[in-house]
Amino acid sequence: MPGPALVVGLGNPGPEYERTRHNLGFRVIDVLADRLGERLKPAKGMRALVAEARDGDTRIILAKPTTFMNASGGAVSELARYYKVDPQNIVIVHDELDLPVAQLKVKRGGGDAGHNGLKDITKALGTKEYARVRIGIGKPPGRKQGVDHVLQGFSKKEQPDVDVAVEQAADAALSVVNAGVEAAQQRFHAGEEKPPKPARAIRKSVTVSAPIDDVWEAWTTVEGARTFFAPDARIELRPGGAYEIYFNLEEQPGNKGSEGCKVLAYRRPQFLVFSWNAPPEIPALRKSKAKTRVELQLEESGGKTKVSLTHSGWGKGADWDECFRYFEDAWDLVLSRLKASFESGPTDWSKRS
Q: Look at residue 353 in the predicted model and tell me its pLDDT.
A: 52
- Computed from CA positions of residues 91, 94, 100, 104, in that sequence, does the dihedral angle turn out positive or negative? positive
Q: Are 166 and 288 in contact (CB under 8 A)?
A: no
Q: How far does CA 347 lie from the centroid of its chain?
A: 30
CB-based burial label for 72 (10 Å; 0-12, 13-18, 19+): buried
Q: Return the beta strands (E) in the chain as ranges.
A: 5-9, 41-42, 48-55, 58-65, 90-96, 104-108, 131-136, 202-208, 232-235, 243-246, 263-267, 271-277, 291-301, 304-312
Whether the per-residue pLDDT at 322 is higher than 80: the answer is yes
Whether the per-residue pLDDT at 266 is higher than 90: the answer is no
Domain map (residue ranges) of the chain: 5-188, 202-351
Residue 353: helix, strand or coil by DSSP?
A: coil
Catalytic residues: 22
Is pTM, for the whole model, over 0.85? Answer: no
pLDDT category at 240 given cuts 50, 70, 90 is confident
Average pLDDT, the chain: 90
Q: Look at residue 247 in the predicted model and tell me its pLDDT.
A: 95
Q: First-to-last CA distance in the chain?
A: 53
Domain 5-188 classification at class level: alpha beta
Instruction: Return the number of other C-beta atoms located less than 10 Å from residue 111's C-beta.
Output: 10
In sequence order, the β-bridge partners of residue 53 are 60
Amino acid at site 109: G
Whether the per-residue pLDDT at 288 is higher than 80: the answer is yes
- Can you tell me the mean pLDDT for 18-38? 91
Nearest to 327 by CA among 291, 289, 288: 291
Domain 202-351 classification at class level: alpha beta
Region of 36 on the Ramachandran plot (φ > 0 left; ψ -120 to 50 alpha; else beta): alpha
Spatial strand order of the sheet with 90-96 comes to 41-42, 48-55, 58-65, 5-9, 90-96, 131-136, 104-108
Q: Which residues of 232-269 are buried (b: 16+ CB within 10 A; e: fewer)?
A: bbbbeeebbbbbbbbbeeeeeeeebbbbebbbbbbeeb
Among 98-112, 124-138, 193-207, name the one with the lowest average pLDDT. Answer: 193-207
Identity of the highest mean pLDDT range in 106-120, 212-226, 273-287: 212-226
Q: What is the pLDDT of residues 46-77, one digit of tens each?
A: 999 999 999 888 899 999 999 999 999 999 99
Among 58-72, 195-209, 220-234, 238-252, name the one with the lowest average pLDDT. Answer: 195-209
Q: Look at residue 229 in the predicted model and tell me its pLDDT.
A: 97
192 or 204, which is more confident?
A: 204
Whether the per-residue pLDDT at 308 is higher than 90: the answer is yes
Instruction: Return the number of other C-beta atoms located less than 10 Å from residue 82's C-beta.
Output: 15
Q: Are 10 and 94 in contact (CB under 8 A)?
A: yes
pLDDT category at 220 given cuts 50, 70, 90 is very high
Q: Look at residue 197 in the predicted model and tell me its pLDDT.
A: 54
Q: Which residues of 180-199 are buried (b: 16+ CB within 10 A; e: fewer)?
A: ebeebbeebeeeeeeebeeb
State the DSSP code for 228. Answer: T
Going from the C-alpha of 128 to that of each of 37, 123, 143, 152, the distances in angstroms are 31, 8, 31, 28
Whether the per-residue pLDDT at 316 is higher than 70: the answer is yes
